Amino acid sequence: MNFNQYIEHTLLKPDATKDELVKLFDEAILHKFYGVCVNPVNVAFAKKYLKNSDVRVVTVCGFPLGANVSEIKALEAKRAIEDGADEVDMVINISAIKDKDFELVKNDIATVKKACGKNVLKVIIETDLLTQDEIKEACELAALAGADFVKTSTGFVKNGVGAKVEDVELMYKTVSDKGLRVKASGGVRDAQKAQLLIQKGASRIGTSSSIKIIAGE
């Protein structure tokens, strides 16, 4: 299977150096990956470096906890787009989902989507921290709020599994008829798992193991 156009080649660790970012960008260009996913502070650098390629620049907001107020998340998204981000991956208010404060969750997503305008917004629901019912609810709220994707994980939950096949399948079944797509990320480290996730409905794979995956390892 050709995974290249499914992959967002990802480097979100807090101590990422310029040399590591350049390596990420060069690999994305060489292998024609869909995009790179970097922290907001690196968006302008990424956009400049990748300007003559087809590689999209993806970034995050409210990351990794989702615990910022909506206005701050929206400002983050707006600035990231001004800096050159093509797509934004936001973390939902996870506590509000647990508290069943669904209006807050929906408004939080809608506020960021308004800031994104025509740019793609992906909503990270952090599946490791949610029940199956909460995953379904979060996906439905993302759809109501006008998001473009739902995404499994930040990859930052301690002892978290990340993208699980059954969660991706549930997410896909919940949103596919509403026009949203699914991004699987967190713990996707080999070709076999990537293929399974795609078969169950993932349109995009966020991973730092991209080279291993396309090598079939």
Query: Using an 8 Å Cβ cutoff, are 144 and 84 in contact?
Result: no
Residue 60 has pLDDT above 80, yes or no: yes
Residue 160: partners with Cβ closer than 8 Å, 6 or more residues away: 128, 129, 153, 186, 187
Residue 16 has pLDDT above 90, yes or no: yes
148 catalytic? Reply is no
Burial status of residue 75 (CB atoms within 10 A of its CB: 0-12, 13-18, 19 or more): middle
89 catalytic? Reply is yes
Choice among 151, 164, 193, 200 that is catalytic: 151
Which segments within the chain are labelled E, that is strand? Answer: 7-11, 35-38, 56-61, 87-91, 120-124, 149-151, 181-185, 202-207
Beta strand 149-151 pairing with 181-185 = parallel
Report the CATH number at residue 154.
3.20.20.70
Query: Using an 8 Å Cβ cutoff, are 138 and 125 in contact?
Result: yes
Q: What is the per-residue pLDDT for 49?
A: 98
Residue 58 has pLDDT above 90, yes or no: yes
Average pLDDT estimate for 160-176: 97
Residue 217 has pLDDT above 80, yes or no: no
Model pLDDT for residues 94-145, shown as the tens digit of each residue: 999 999 999 999 999 999 999 999 999 999 999 999 999 999 999 999 999 9
User: How does the average pLDDT of the chain come out, rounded?
Assistant: 97
- Structurally, the chain folds into a number of domains equal to 1
pTM score above 0.95: yes
177 catalytic? Reply is no
Choice among 73, 78, 86, 89 that is catalytic: 89
Is cis: bond before 40, omega within 30 of 0? Answer: no
Q: Which domain holds residue 99?
A: 4-214
Model pLDDT for residues 179-210, shown as the tens digit of each residue: 999 999 999 999 999 999 999 999 999 999 99
Rounded distance between C-alpha atoms, residue 188 and residue 45, angstroms: 26
pLDDT band at 146 (very low <50, low <70, confident <90, very high): very high
Choice among 73, 106, 122, 183 that is catalytic: 183
Q: What is the per-residue pLDDT for 1?
A: 87
**Residue 81 backbone dihedrals phi, psi, to 5 degrees:** -65, -40
What is each CA distance from 82 to 60, 87, 123, in whole angstroms?
14, 11, 20
pLDDT band at 176 (very low <50, low <70, confident <90, very high): very high
